[in-house]
């Protein structure tokens, strides 16, 4: 899952595990059977939505 503006998001739980070299996007690679911190993932998605909405108003 790629977050187009992921570099602008805080990721205290360290969910981003791909595309870390770029200065804009970040991604989360999820492998079959892998567990994800559901609470952290929801918080990250909500932060991404909020960021996208704030940029849309500008």
pLDDT digits (tens, 9 = 90+) for 4-14: 999 999 999 99
Q: What angle do CA 47, 19, 40 make, to 5 degrees?
A: 35
pTM: 0.84
In contact, 27 and 40? CB cutoff 8 Å: no
User: Domain limits at 37?
Assistant: 2-57
Q: Which token pair is 24?
A: 């804009």
Q: How many domains does the chain have?
A: 1
CA distance 52 to 38: 21
Residue 31 pLDDT level (bands cut at 50, 70, 90):
very high
């Amino acid at each position: 899952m790629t977050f187009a503006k992921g570099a602008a998001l805080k990721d205290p739980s360290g969910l981003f595990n791909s595309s870390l070299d770029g200065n804009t996007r970040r991604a989360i690679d999820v492998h079959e059977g892998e567990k994800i911190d559901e609470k952290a993932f929801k918080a990250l998605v909500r932060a991404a939505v909020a960021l996208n909405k704030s940029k849309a108003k500008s």
